[in-house]
Amino acid sequence: MNSTTLAVRHSSPGSWLTDLFWNKPGLFIFCLLLPPLLWLGIIYIGSLFTLLLHSFFSIDEFSGLIRYEFTLKTYAELLSPANFDVILRTILMACAVTLAAALIAFPIAYYAARYANQKMKALFYLGVMLPLWSSYLVKIYAWKLILAKQGIVNWVVEGTGATFLLNSVLSLPVVGGNSLAVSYIGTFIVLLYVWLPFMILPVQASLERIPESLLEASGDLGAAPKQTFRLVILPLALPGVIAGSIFTFSLTMGDFIVPQIIGSSRRFIGQAVYAHQGTAGNIPLAAAFAVVPIVVMIIYLYFAKKRGAFDAL
Amino acid sequence: MHFRKRASLGLKASAVCGLAFLHLPILLIFLYAFTTEDKSYQFPPPGLTLKWFGVTWNRPDVWASLQLSLEVAAVSTLLALILGTLCAAAVSRAKFFGREAISLLVILPIALPGIITGISLRSAYNILDIPFSTFTIILGHATFCVVVVYNNAIARFRRMSGSMIEASFDLGATGFQTFRYVVLPNLATALLAGGMLAFALSFDEVIVTTFTAGQQQTLPIWMLEELVRPRQRPVTNVVAMVVVMVTFLPILGAYYLTRDTSASRN
């Protein structure tokens, strides 16, 4: 069949190439893949590799220049109490944000997946997509306005006479502070706000995939709605929650702008990376710090894959 | 059929509260752009005025960073369109060894936190002694924009039936003709949507850019500076509002173009 059609084709300039690719589809795929693979391979994987390389170098204490020799000294520095605190603090914050995001996302996703009609569904989808895609900095800026000394939160608190409530929250050890804008609570709220939409979409997708008949069967077999929810819906929605948690966890762990603008002066991993590579010029230590989220994410992804979260992406 | 057909009040309330939590802060930006107060973030605003729009209009630094942002976003989007489409075409057309690895490779730049991409590029520029320039910014942006185009394109490629392309060849079209008259028209809206999202992503990006920009200021870098050390609050308020409106348009556009495939960033 091919030979007859090929014979009909006129000898236009590109036709020999067409014939070549038609006869050798593997070559065609190879040519398609070559530019993107070269780009991502050289620029992205290449730079990741130099990052890894840098983390095995060290900084000369006297000259402040990078000594390009293999050493584990920089990694040992990570384990110093001050630096280890930074890592622990970041991971705890990422866990807290992820848990809170799952709790807030679930009702939104559940309503959109099970009760919303076609029109409402579109509205919900846009309602999640718009905040997800709108400017990251503007979102943080909005919270700076909200949490400012003369901002809306203090206005509401003073107006309703809830000052004592806010004060008692702020007087909590560790998480509290002089005001919301300089406390862990503030950092937590803004991180939650910024990354929440990434949790909603995968949860909703996994809930939508649960067939109606399964829930009906559960009811027919005598399960109360609560039991159906706990024993049928939750386990089936879990991969979606884990898929969403990959985003919230990873993005929180790498964020250095939110804690810099809203939060106490205690550093997170991202801030440490940024500070060390900047004026200090200590790229090796910055690189070693950056390897931590990569390792944590690799472990996280391994367990997420085991729970089937990748099919829910 | 014991399962409720209607949502309970508690569920409805928590869904609505969740969505309100996502939207109210952004709406606040619109109010602050008109406030007469210029020394603090006072709420409620003591008065409303339009004068800051004029002030912002006459600021050369805002225009300069806006221009750089638009340039970077345009070039990065173009590069991402080419690379993302090629990659999607290859991955969707055939099953071959390492297909999964390629999908992972494309997704990695946004799956890993931006700071990793940023510090990686920074350390590569350091080793290779590449000075910071517009080019170094674009290199980073194009890398994480590929995935957006890829996701949109691959969803469309999967819906497109291979028999159409075969028919085109059987009727004597060359590869170029088939691409121009069969593949491209089918792909166009998906590419437009992917391109718009890539543009919005690049236009807004700040984390990677802080590592690759040197002395140059894109609009997000300009905003970050204002966030850390507020100097001209009213101008920042206006810029924030304009940025919200500028990024909303491509998102809405992309949504309407891909409604039926429901392709998205995730």
Q: What pLDDT shows up at residue A269?
A: 93
ipTM: 0.84
Q: What pLDDT shows up at residue B4?
A: 55
The neighbouring-strand residues paired with B48 are B35
**Range with the largest mean pLDDT of A58-67, A116-125, A244-253, B242-251:** A244-253
Contact B60, B122 (CB under 8 A): no
Q: What pLDDT shows up at residue B159?
A: 84
- B65 near A CB under 8 A: no
- pLDDT higher than 50, residue B1: no
Query: What is the spatial distance between Cα A39 and Cα A293, in angstroms, rounded to a whole number?
Result: 24
Compute the mean pLDDT over every residue in chain A, rounded to the nearest whole number. Answer: 86
Query: What is the spatial distance between Cα B155 and Cα B264, in angstroms, rounded to a whole number?
Result: 9
The one-character DSSP state at B116 is H
User: Residue B54 is encoded by which pair of tokens?
Assistant: 């004029």
Compute the mean pLDDT over every residue in chain B, rounded to the nearest whole number. Answer: 86
pTM of the model: 0.86
- pLDDT higher than 50, residue A1: no
Q: What pLDDT shows up at residue B227?
A: 87
Contact B138, B72 (CB under 8 A): yes
Q: Residues A142-192: pLDDT tens digits?
A: 998 899 888 888 888 888 888 888 888 888 888 888 888 888 999 999 999
- pLDDT higher than 50, residue A7: no
Q: How confident is the model at residue A313 (pLDDT cuts 50, 70, 90)?
A: low
Among residues A273, A299, A254, A279, the alpha carbon closest in space to that of A54 is found at A273
> Among partner residues A51, A114, A294, which is closest to B123 by beta-carbon distance?
A51
- Among chain B residues, the shortest Cα distance to A21 is held by B175
Among residues A199, A182, A200, A178, the alpha carbon closest in space to that of A190 is found at A182
> Among partner residues A5, A122, A261, which is closest to B172 by beta-carbon distance?
A5
Q: Residues A12-37: pLDDT tens digits?
A: 556 777 778 777 878 888 888 899 99
Interface contact B6-A12, CB threshold 8 A: no
Q: What pLDDT shows up at residue B25?
A: 92
Q: What pLDDT shows up at residue B65?
A: 92
User: Counting beta carbons within 10 angstroms of the beta carbon of residue A110, is it exposed (0 to 12), middle (13 to 18) or buried (19 or more)?
Assistant: buried
Q: How confident is the model at residue A304 (pLDDT cuts 50, 70, 90)?
A: confident
For residues A39-65, give the mean pLDDT.
88
Q: What pLDDT shows up at residue A312?
A: 61
The neighbouring-strand residues paired with A67 are A58
> Among partner residues B25, B102, B206, which is closest to A146 by beta-carbon distance?
B25
What distance lies between CA B168 and its chain's CA centroid? 35
> Among partner residues B3, B139, B244, which is closest to A134 by beta-carbon distance?
B244
Measure in Å the smallest separation between the Cα of B113 and chain A Cα atoms.
5
User: Residue A205 is encoded by which pair of tokens?
Assistant: 């997708």
Q: What pLDDT shows up at residue A13?
A: 59
Q: Which of residues 206-245 of B touch A (CB under 8 A)?
A: 206-207, 210-211, 220, 223-224, 227-228, 236, 240, 243-244
For residues A227-244, give the mean pLDDT.
90
Q: Residues B63-92: pLDDT tens digits?
A: 999 999 999 999 999 999 999 999 998 888
Measure in Å the smallest separation between the Cα of B263 and chain A Cα atoms.
12
Interface contact A290-B116, CB threshold 8 A: yes
Choices 3.30.1370.160, 1.10.10.10, 1.10.3720.10, 3.40.630.30: CATH for B60-234+242-265:
1.10.3720.10
- pLDDT higher than 80, residue B99: no
- B265 near A CB under 8 A: yes
Q: What pLDDT shows up at residue B265?
A: 39
Query: What is the spatial distance between Cα A225 and Cα B220, in angstroms, rounded to a whole number?
Result: 48
Of chain A, the percentage scoring pLDDT greater than 70 comes to 94
For residues A64-83, give the mean pLDDT.
88
Interface contact B111-A144, CB threshold 8 A: no
Contact B13, B22 (CB under 8 A): no
Interface contact B170-A5, CB threshold 8 A: yes
Q: What pLDDT shows up at residue B107?
A: 82
Q: Which of chain B's residues have a Cβ under 8 Å away from the Cβ of A146?
A: 25, 28
The neighbouring-strand residues paired with A58 are A67
Please, what is the end-to-end C-alpha distance for chain A in angstroms? 41
Q: Which of chain A's residues have a Cβ under 8 Å away from the Cβ of B197?
A: 133
Q: What pLDDT shows up at residue B220?
A: 92
> Among partner residues A25, A136, A273, which is closest to B206 by beta-carbon distance?
A136
Q: Residues B132-158: pLDDT tens digits?
A: 999 999 999 999 999 999 988 988 888
